[in-house]
Amino acid sequence: MRLKMVKDIRYLSLGILLIVSLTLPFFLPDAYVYLVGMTFLFIIMVVSWDIIVGYTGQVNLGHTVFVGIGAYTTALLQVPSRFEGTFLHFLSAIPSPPIYISIIMGGVVSAFFGFIIGVITLRLRGYYFALVTAVLPLVFIQLLYVWSDIFGGEEGFSVGLERALAVDSIGKYYIAFFTMVLSVLIMYLIVRSSIGYKFRAIRDDETLAESVGIDTVKYKVLSFVISSFFAGIAGACVVHYRITVGPSMFDIPLMLLIILSAVIGGLGTLFGPIIGGFVIYLMKNWWLKGMVGLSDVVPINDEVILYIILIVVAILAPEGIWVYSRKIIEKLPIKFLKKAKTT
């Protein structure tokens, strides 16, 4: 009885959040609409990272590699002229596909690289896998500098206003929102399927999972490919959202922000990373910006505040704020839950 009411309240809360998200552009200034739209794309990155780490238990510290691959894939498909005068000059004659096709191609190419990297690295266990993936963003960033004629080096390049997701911030906002909803829904269906149960079996006890006949390497690679695909979709959408692509798509600060969001929200919960991604990204890029003036008085910046929050959550709610809040709700009296459900 109590569990059913808790689930009802959870779905009611999600419904309210969806309604608020759909109406938000009518109440916010244009700049904030743009920022919240970017937050939706960041949430896809966080949730896709949770698939491999939270559900399968493989600590991937190179998730931004696949964000960057998706981003550069769609950018080069839309601006094939970048290949002119290089050893890949024959690719400059390829016609640009529609934007949404190139976004999907960004996900597909990311998934392909995820498969190759996964087959090579996912036989490693524990810290060895984490260390190998941590090096990957640095390798890909160096490739951007070595082939700067194609990738634009440190500055990156623009894909042009005509290749934006929409002509205004509100249009971009809704496209980003529905992309997030569709991506998260597909990932939710995957983790709730038999495939998702095998992911969790590997996370909880890989040796036991092998003993009952689960091909652990196969399912770890599969989770890596799924995670990489949606990371690539997010990266590709970001390019058409902000019109530019650059090395920041591979960067370590983005990886740290993804980790921070997922851990604070709650690994292996799917809903936790959604909340964590939304809160942390907006705190980093909006809410904490008003506190910058305090740095003249107190030697502190927004990143320090975020890591302080991480430490507090790790102490008070080590499983993340989603699990912590759910446990609080479950302890509430039945009468209170009935009242919450009917209001």
Going from N- to C-terminal start, the domains of the chain cover: 2-19+30-342
- Cβ–Cβ under 8 Å, residues 106 and 69: yes
DSSP 171-193: HHHHHHHHHHHHHHHHHHHHHTS
Copy the structure tokens of residue 168: 């205004």
| Spatial distance between the Cα atoms of 312 and 263, rounded to a whole number of angstroms | 12
What pLDDT is recorded for position 105? 97
Give tens-digit pLDDT for 64-74: 999 999 999 99
What pLDDT is recorded for position 99? 94
- Cβ–Cβ under 8 Å, residues 74 and 239: yes
Q: Name the one residue in this structure whose structure tokens are 């149960």.
A: 197
Who contacts 324 (Cβ-Cβ below 8 Å, separation ≥6)?
A: 266, 316, 317
- Cβ–Cβ under 8 Å, residues 52 and 227: yes
At the top level of CATH, the class of 2-19+30-342 is: mainly alpha
Give tens-digit pLDDT for 155-201: 899 999 999 999 899 999 999 999 999 999 999 999 999 999 999 99
What pLDDT is recorded for position 312? 87
What pLDDT is recorded for position 4? 60
Which amino acid belongs to residue 7? K
Predicted TM-score (pTM) of the model is 0.92
Burial class of 100 by CB neighbour count within 10 A (0 to 12, 13 to 18, 19+): middle
Q: Name the one residue in this structure whose structure tokens are 């951007």.
A: 144
Stretches in the chain below the pLDDT threshold 50: 337, 340
What pLDDT is recorded for position 16? 80
What pLDDT is recorded for position 338? 54
What pLDDT is recorded for position 286? 83
DSSP letter, residue 55:
I
What pLDDT is recorded for position 305? 80
